[in-house]
A and B are shown apart, each in its own frame.
Chain A
Amino acid sequence: MSVIEDSIQPPPYKIVLLGESSVGKTSLVHRFTSNTFDVHIANTIGAAFITKLYTSHSDANRKVKFEIWDTAGQERYRSLTPMYYRNAKVALICIDLSNFESTFHTAKYWIQQLELNNSSNADDKPIEIHLIGTKYDLVQSQTTPKISQEDIETKVNELIESHGNIVKFHTTSSKEGTGIVELFEDIVVAIDDDFFKSYYDKAQSETDVQGGPIGSILNARHAATSGCC
């Protein structure tokens, strides 16, 4: 990364978390943004917005500012959710591995909704979906799980095969902090090089202009003239 690029804010990258209530969306975000975990976390009301600068462990040039919309899973707020995933690059659809059946059902609902509303994205690129299996620690502690790991994998794989925009299935535990950094690392690594290039090219051209952002604006204008009054 160049010196100039160092002085430029990393590109924003919008992510939305979707899924049934209490699947652990907020815990996942907290573990990622502040590396904390609280068992007694309150239900999210409407939606919460969090940003996080993140640099890829494998490639320091891949640095983004994650803009994360953590949506409420409760039915009451479903009608609002489209306004949060609009223009998002990635949707993290969460499934509670310790309560697989019902949360998987809701996950399928959100996949359908995203497919229906993809056209609203500004760049017309379909939103990438990552399926997130949460609470893996609970599954490991269950002596008689309701559904076997094999069955979970089978169902998830079937879902992935039938929906082209599902990128990957990740197994995570916010409590133990496993799989979460890997998830976001995967997201950053998968971003097109063109995304970074176009962003920095544009920012560079603006920075080159004397006077900073406002100066850039002033230079770009044509119609405005300086008043004398």
Chain B
Amino acid sequence: MNINDTNALNYQISPFITNLSLSEDELISTTTTYESNVYIGTTKGIILHYHHFDDVPEYILISQLQISEMPITRILILPVSKRVVVLAGRIAQVYSLPELSPCHIKRMKDINDIALLRIENQPDSILVLSPTKVRIIQLHGEQIKIVREIHYTNAIAGDSFNPANLIVIADGSNYDIIDIEHNRKIPLFEYRTDQEVSPILTSFYANDTNQSELLLTISSDVSTAIAMFINGTGDVTRGTLTWVGEGYPNGGVVIEWPYALAIFNSEEKSKLVVSSLESLDITIAMNLSDFKQSERIEKNEAIETDKHYSINKLDKFLSIEDVSVKHLLSTKDRNGELTQPLSRITTDILIHNQKEIWSIHKTNPIIEIHNSFMHALETENFEEFLKKDISHLAEESKNYAIHLQFLAVLHSKMDNILTFALKQYLNGPIISPKLVLHLLGGSEYKYDKVFVGLEKIIEDWKDEPDLELLKRYITALPSQYWTPELRRAYYRNATESEVLEFFKKDSFWNSYDDLNKELIELFITKSLSGAILEAYETLFEHDNDNRLQIASLYANILSEDLSRKHIHTAIKLLGSNTLTDKDYGKLLLEVIRVDKDKGVEFMRSKAAKRYNDINRAVTKELSDSSKGFAILSIELLESSFLEDTENQEIFDELLETISTTMISSTVCSEEAEASYDLLLREYEAINSLEKDKWPKISWLDFVSISGKSKDSETLFVLYLKSFELCWVKYHKYGKVYTTPDHKLFQYHQFIAQPNIEKLLAFHDYSNAETVAIINQLALPKQTFYFPKFTPEQKKIEEQQVQQSLLGIFKFYLKLYEEERKVEPAIEHFVETYSKSHISPVDLLEIIPNSFPLIYLLKFLEHAIVDLKSSSRETNIRKVVTKSESSRIKKLYQDFLTV
């Protein structure tokens, strides 16, 4: 037993079982224990059986057994044979342990007292004291075996040394040593004078002499008692312990080396007196009361109590709830709900009055550590406190001590604060992150659970918040322990670069929950655009449940302030197929604004089909200022149109777009117009009637072939496309497209109004002749949209065809007469149309006589052959007709004659 000062011991008296089920006039008469069981005998002859279940801290009453009608005076545990001998009303009965079933062993009657002897190789030997004899017995099965029997008158108490070669017996007035080997009695001394007292014999092992000793009390007078010490040979071992003025230790004496604890009950009070066996001085005198909580054994003021206290030492240590640290180690949550500590201690000293039982046990070292901290806090000097070794403490106590150490280093502003703050046990951080947040971040952050012993310290904590330390703490704390408050605190106090760095560790950005929404709002308030985008990107990647919502928000944020740095992110989002049309379009425009090439490339290769309309709208919007967009817009429209060529709406939009684009400054630039004019000139040249190459190429085929080689290929492609669409619109849907008033659409007018003269003036002789025959323009050989469409041919009167053709022929002849070298054209015409539409005679009639016959040879040759053939046919027909007529005539005559 250590003394930490002159007035206190490092021992506690703690409530053990203080709510016994006793009737009003029923008192505790004796107590004992066996393993996890506590047996409490009462003056009503009942034994209360308490048991400790592993899952609850306290002992629970499990049975109340009526043993006798008389008070239970002794419950003697026989641990080896698992029996218990119960003495009540001078009758001893044997029961089985631990439940106290009756053993069918004869009862022993007229017994003054019983005690357990420690005889070598004879465990569970019982010293039985009766008015006339002292017996040593053992239980063999259901038989009682008497090992020794000694005549001794009125033995009322006894104890033995260990091993028990000698026993000491007390009768009504004396102590005697009994040599059980030799049946000798050696009188010792009287233990009382005139005062009626009970003898007290307490055996113990003396650590200083390394032997078994026996303490024997003696009442000197009413106010004074002494204790003598003898060993197993009957020699006195140490001086006399004196209790002057305390009376007689009628509540018992136990030894807790090197101290003797004795209880003195008087009418006014009960007192625990602790004396040193080394100095033989009284160390502490403590008045006893109905302690409701654990109390240190220390000197105190007199307390009046009419209760009678007793103390007894157990053979084995008992595990009990350590209520002495409840005021420190209990935890309290925000609702004020307390959780008791699991801390247990062992004790082998019980103390009881008539109604309640306490234990005496060593002070839990955490109490001393706590007191040391409080002292250090008062003196602002934690040096000594931080030197204290806490490695031997039980888990809960160690955790508590680590909290204290953390507070100490925090208050001292030492460098190793985080070392303590981050200490971990199996279940995670020892110090709750919420508590650290409260201490480092300020009182606005509430902790949820705290040791009761720390509650006031923390409430009174006055240190300023240390936000930089807080951020370092959170960063160092494993992310699974980041509470919402911690994350909130970090983001609230972090710079953008810190936030972005923190994102790499923060795995809680996986759900668009309230907290993350709140954090994004925080970023917005703090204008942390990078953080906002990072937040949305992470959420977009991980929260599939809210992906569409996040995508929308993300797209809007990106659209608001898109930089080249986030182009890739934006394109990824655009390609995710998760955005609404509105969000998609908005973001797409921004992407194009920031990086046109990337935007166009995206639309070409990665955009989902469902956004075609949007893409078109976007590109249309932009096409005024950029040829690329104009073409892209047309491409997107074509993509839609080719999927549904019957869709007139898209058809019209496509035609309109192409037409508009054609004449837009981006496509129809000055250079492009020059190319067009050049192409016209080239066409005129190549199609010259003076050249003998027939048939002449149509304008559209010429554009199709020669336009590709020009710098303004785009224009010519659009030109052809627009023509095809206009042509189909007219011939398929019977509608005339009103072309823009631009020279590029000059030729387009021929679709609805195929004017031969104008075609001839355009030098498209081929199509002029076609119009003459079928009254409509021919499409070029290469088409873009309707390769198989053939318009319905209208029936044209041959006379009209002839007239139209003759008109063309006259045009050629006129040129000839103007001395243009158009003989090949005339040659072509007469050779082509003399057979099908115009008779050679008619042609010959209008060909000037001066026209060189050389160009008509083939025509005339065919005409003559045809004439001869016709003449021959006529002659044959005549001959045949004539012959037939003659035959019929002859046949008629024959018929008449018959």
Which residue of chain B has the shortest Cβ distance to A77 in the bound complex?
A: B62
Q: Which residues of B96-145 are within 8 A (CB) of A?
A: 96, 98-102, 104, 106-109, 134-135, 143-145
B882 contacts the other chain (Cβ, under 8 Å)? no
Q: Is B61 an interface residue (CB 8 A)?
A: yes
A67 and B149 within 8 A (CB)? no
Q: Smallest CB–CB gap between A220 and chain B, Å?
A: 8
CA distance A184 to B60 in the complex (A): 32
CB of B810 within 8 Å of the partner chain: no
User: Do A48 and B149 touch across chains, with their CB atoms under 8 A apart?
Assistant: no
- Known interface pairs A46-B62, A213-B106, A217-B146; A227-B99 also in contact (CB < 8 Å): no
Which of the candidate stretches B178-186, B234-242, B543-551, B736-744 sits at the interface with the other chain?
B178-186
Given contacts A45-B61, A67-B102, contact A229 B184 (CB under 8 A): yes
Say yes or no: A224 contacts B149, CB within 8 Å. Answer: yes
Bitwise interface map of B from 78 to 109 toward A, beta carbon under 8 Å scored 1, else 0: 00000000000000000010111110101111
B147 within 8 A of A: yes
Interface set of B (CB-CB < 8 Å, partner A): 49, 51, 53, 60-65, 96, 98-102, 104, 106-109, 134-135, 143-152, 176, 178, 183-185
- List the A side residues contacting B146 at CB < 8 Å: 217-218, 221, 223-224
A69, A220, A227: the one within 8 Å of B149 (CB): A227
Which 5 pairs show the lowest CB-CB distances between chains A and B? A46-B62, A229-B185, A227-B150, A213-B106, A83-B99
Chain B residues near A87 (CB-CB < 8 A): 96, 101
Which B residues touch A77, using CB under 8 A? 62
A225-B183 contact in complex given A77-B62, A80-B62, A217-B146, C-beta closer than 8 Å: yes
15 A-B residue pairs with CB within 8 Å: A48-B64, A49-B65, A49-B100, A84-B101, A213-B107, A217-B145, A223-B148, A224-B135, A224-B146, A225-B183, A226-B151, A227-B134, A227-B152, A229-B152, A229-B184
The verdict on A175 contacting chain B, using a C-beta distance below 8 Å, is: no
Judge whether B101 and A217 touch: CB under 8 Å: no
A189 contacts across to B, CB distance below 8 A: none
User: Are A224 and B147 also in contact (CB < 8 A) when A46-B61, A79-B53 are?
Assistant: yes
Given A67-B102, A83-B99, A213-B106, are A225 and B149 neighbors across the interface (CB < 8 Å)? yes
Find chain B residues with CB under 8 A from A69 CB. Answer: 99, 101
Contact with B along A147-189 (1 / 0, CB 8 A): 0000000000000000000000000000000000000000000
Closest beta carbon of chain B to A74's beta carbon, Å: 11
Q: Does A40 contact B (CB under 8 A)?
A: no
Give A99 Cβ to nearest chain B Cβ, in Å. Answer: 25
A213 neighbours in B (Cβ, 8 Å): 106-107
Per the bound structure, the CA–CA distance linking A227 and B186 in Å amounts to 13
Is A214 located at the chain interface by the 8 A CB criterion?
Answer: yes
A57-82, CB under 8 A of B: which get 1 and which 0?
Answer: 00000000001010010001101100
Q: Which listed residue, B51, B148, B178, B183, touches A46 by the CB 8 Å rule?
A: B51
Using CB atoms, name the residue of chain A closest to B130.
A214
The CA of A79 and the CA of B100, in the complex, are separated in Å by 16
Residues from chain B with Cβ under 8 Å of A225 in the complex: 148-149, 183
Q: Which residues from chain B contact A12 at a C-beta distance below 8 Å? A: 102, 104
Q: How far is the CA of A44 from the CA of B99 in the complex (A)?
A: 15
- Say yes or no: A229-B150 contact (C-beta < 8 A), given A45-B61, A69-B99, A213-B106: yes
Interface of A, secondary structure class, is mixed
**A216 contacts across to B, CB distance below 8 A:** 106
When C-beta atoms are compared, the residue in chain B nearest to A51 turns out to be: B102
Count of A-B contacts judged by CB separation below 8 Å = 94
Report B262 CB to chain A, min CB distance, Å: 30
Of A46, A69, A79, A223, most B-chain CB atoms within 10 Å: A46
B interface footprint on A75-99 (CB within 8 Å = 1, 0 otherwise): 0110110011011000000000000
| Nearest CB of chain B from residue A67's CB, rounded to whole Å | 6
Residues of A within 8 Å of B108, CB to CB, are 214
| Residue A14 interfacial (CB < 8 Å) | yes
Which residue in chain B gives the minimum CB-CB distance to A223? B147
* Inter-subunit contact B149/A226 (CB<8 Å): yes
A45, B178: Cβ atoms closer than 8 Å: no
Which of chain A's residues have a CB closer than 8 A to the CB of B183?
225, 227-229
Instruction: Return the chain A residue nearest B183 by Cβ.
Output: A227
Q: Given the known A-B contacts A83-B99, A221-B145, are A49 and B63 also in contact in the complex, defined by CB atoms under 8 Å?
A: yes
**CA of A87 to CA of B83 in the docked complex: distance in angstroms?**
14
**Residues from chain A with Cβ under 8 Å of B109 in the complex:** 214
C-alpha spacing A49/B64, complex, angstroms: 8
Give, as a whole number of angstroms, the nearest-CB distance from A135 to chain B.
25
The verdict on A46 contacting B149 (CB below 8 Å), with A69-B101, A77-B62 known, is no
Given contact pairs A213-B107, A229-B184, enumerate 19 new A-B contacts (beta carbons under 8 Å).
A46-B60, A67-B102, A69-B99, A79-B53, A83-B98, A83-B99, A87-B96, A217-B106, A217-B143, A217-B146, A220-B143, A224-B147, A225-B149, A226-B149, A227-B134, A227-B149, A227-B150, A227-B178, A227-B185
Q: Find out whether the CB atom of A45 lies under 8 angstroms from the CB atom of B147.
A: no
In the complex, are the beta carbons of A45 and B149 less than 8 A apart? no
Query: When chains A and B are docked, how far (Å) is the Cα of A213 from the Cα of B108?
Result: 8
- Choose among B53, B101, B149, B150 the residue that contacts A76 (Cβ–Cβ < 8 A): B53
Shortest B178–chain A CB gap in Å is 7
B290 to chain A, nearest CB (A): 25
CA A221 to CA B62, docked complex, whole Å: 39
Give Cα A36–Cα B862 distance, bound, in whole angstroms.
Answer: 145
CB pair B62 A217 closer than 8 Å: no
- The docked-state distance in angstroms from the alpha carbon of A47 to that of B178 is 43
Interface centre among A216, A217, A225 (most CB of B within 10 A): A217
In the bound complex, what is the Cα–Cα distance between A49 and B99 (angstroms)? Answer: 10
CB neighbours (8 Å) of A218 from chain B are: 146, 149
- CB-CB < 8 A to B99: which residues of A? 47, 69, 80, 83-84, 86
Q: Closest CB-CB distance, B104 to chain A, in whole Å? A: 6
Instruction: Please judge, given known A-B contacts A67-B101, A229-B183, whether A224 and B148 are in contact too, CB under 8 Å.
Output: yes
Nearest-neighbour CB distance to chain B for A39, whole angstroms, equals 23
1/0 per residue, CB under 8 A from B, across A1-25: the answer is 0000000000010100000000000
